[in-house]
Amino acid sequence: MTDDATDGDATDAVQCWLVERSFDQRNLVTLVYATPDGERYQQRELSGNALSQIDVTAAREIPADELEDVQDADTRARYADEVASVREQYDPDEEL
């Protein structure tokens, strides 16, 4: 017998906030969205062309099963601080 109440938990969406955006020499853009506590994150690499086709907003709803754990305590603290800063300055759906 399975517990249906926990089966859907992994796909529940979590509001994550943009904490990092970087560019490299290969015209790739890395976006990092993190949970408010800085414990989990999603990192995406996009080409410059792909980036122009999507809206980069202050926050996104990300399925929980697509988030990774932040291993480093300093990074967790930095992400949590950055989320707090972004939340103060922007609405979740505001483009950055």
For residue 57, tell me if it sits in a domain: yes
Give a three-class secondary structure readout of 31-66.
Answer: EEEECCCCCEEEEEEEEHHHHCCCCCECEEEEEHHH
For residue 94, tell me if it sits in a domain: no
State how far the Cα of 78 lies from the Cα of 91, in Å rounded to an integer.
Answer: 20
The confidence score (pLDDT) of residue 23 equals: 85
Count: domains in the chain: 1
The confidence score (pLDDT) of residue 26 equals: 79
Q: For the chain, which ranges sit under pLDDT 70? A: 1-11
For residue 6, tell me if it sits in a domain: no
The confidence score (pLDDT) of residue 2 equals: 40
The confidence score (pLDDT) of residue 11 equals: 62
For residue 18, tell me if it sits in a domain: yes
CB 35 within 8 A of CB 60: no
State how far the Cα of 44 lies from the Cα of 40, in Å rounded to an integer.
Answer: 14
C-alpha separations of 43 from 3, 13, 14, 32, 66 in Å: 31, 16, 14, 4, 10
What domain range is 18 assigned to? Answer: 13-89
Q: Which two tokens stand for residue 8?
A: 């859907």
